[in-house]
């Protein structure tokens, strides 16, 4: 039997959060965590880049990690508006999300570019959270597993290990919509991802954290976290306040 995989509950604040409210929520989260003791999962918050350093300081000593929402595939240079993996590392990040469907859709990012970003994250010593997921049309056409298989093959670098890579399955149609797949559908996709990871990365593929994301909230987290091969959650809207995020973390206690 494979060893139990420690879950990861990750919050993605997206383009939300100004300093006063962001700091207040981060402090609330750190305080709540302290009160309840260290949970049985890793906890991560990925705020906008402007709040990385303030949140790092506000949550110091709390065991809550901070991460970026994206990084460039290059180390540095003439890339106005972009941020490099080593800059994130330098600010205290442990993780970076790459290939989120909003980046793939809004910025036309291909899986090849996502792989370059994940490679940059690995070089900088960050854990890359690599996102995959089908659109509603692809699911309707019965192409879900095929689409995700291709995204995985093209987005995950050769050197991916259980230590430097997390995979997040996020159906595009479930993000920010309040809709979630059935637990059977989540189980089917996660089993397929696990078997592909195992085939390609052997023991590392068997041990990689595999997150579900898309309309996760306190009311459905326990059910989703209980699905086989679900090792945590990537949470958008419900990660913005400590009051909404903590009940999701609590499912791992
Ligand atoms: P949501 O977003 O929880 O608001 O649906 C999830 C995500 O995009 O990571």
Query: Cα–Cα distances in Å, from 235 out to 81, 121, 186?
Result: 25, 21, 15
Architecture of domain 8-73+81-250: Alpha-Beta Barrel (3.20)
Q: Is 234 in the pocket of ligand 1 (CB under 6 A)?
A: yes
Distance CA 48, CA 88 (A): 11
Q: Whose CA is nearest to atom 7 of ligand 1?
A: 236
Task: Give the residues of the chain that fall short of pLDDT 50.
Answer: 1
Distance 100 CA to ligand 1 centre (A): 10
pTM for this structure? 0.98
Q: Is 237 in the pocket of ligand 1 (CB under 6 A)?
A: yes
pLDDT digits (tens, 9 = 90+) for 128-162: 999 999 999 999 999 999 999 999 999 999 999 99
Q: What is the CA radius of gyration of the chain?
A: 17
Q: For a substitution probing ligand 1, which of 234, 240, 241, 247 has the most ligand atoms within 8 Å of its CB?
A: 234
Q: pLDDT value at position 3?
A: 67
List, in order, residues 6 or more apart from 57 with CB less than 8 Å away.
none
- How many Cα neighbours within 13 Å face the side chain of 253? 11
Q: pLDDT value at position 252?
A: 85
Q: For a substitution probing ligand 1, which of 14, 233, 236 has the most ligand atoms within 8 Å of its CB?
A: 236
Are β-strands 8-12 and 232-235 bridged in parallel, bridged antiparallel, or unpaired?
A: parallel
Residue numbers annotated as active site: 100, 170
Question: Domain spans of the chain?
Answer: 8-73+81-250
Q: Is 99 in the pocket of ligand 1 (CB under 6 A)?
A: no
Helices (H), 125-182: 136-140, 144-155
């Amino acid at each position: 039997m494979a060893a139990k995989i420690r879950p990861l509950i990750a919050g993605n604040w997206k383009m939300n959060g100004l300093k006063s409210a962001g700091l207040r929520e981060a402090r609330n989260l750190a305080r709540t965590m302290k009160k309840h003791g260290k949970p049985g999962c890793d906890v991560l918050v990925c705020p906008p880049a402007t709040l990385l350093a303030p949140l790092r300081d506000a949550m110091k000593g709390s065991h809550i990690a901070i991460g970026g929402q994206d990084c460039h595939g290059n180390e540095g240079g003439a890339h106005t508006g972009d941020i490099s993996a080593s800059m994130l590392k330098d600010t205290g990040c442990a993780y970076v999300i790459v290939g989120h469907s909003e980046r793939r859709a809004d910025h036309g990012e291909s899986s090849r570019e996502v792989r370059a970003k994940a490679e940059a994250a690995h070089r900088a010593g960050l854990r890359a959270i690599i996102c995959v997921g089908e659109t509603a049309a692809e699911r309707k056409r019965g192409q879900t597993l095929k689409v995700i298989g291709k995204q995985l093959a093209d987005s995950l670098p050769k050197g991916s290990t259980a230590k430097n890579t997390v995979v997040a399955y996020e159906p595009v149609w479930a993000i920010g919509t309040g809709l979630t797949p059935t637990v059977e559908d989540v189980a089917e996709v996660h089993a397929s991802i696990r078997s592909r990871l195992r085939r390609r990365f052997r023991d590392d593929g068997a041990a990689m954290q595999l997150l579900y994301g898309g309309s996760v909230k306190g009311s459905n987290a326990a059910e989703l976290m209980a699905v086989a091969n679900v090792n945590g959650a990537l949470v958008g809207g419900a990660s913005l306040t400590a009051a909404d995020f903590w009940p999701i973390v609590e499912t791992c206690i």
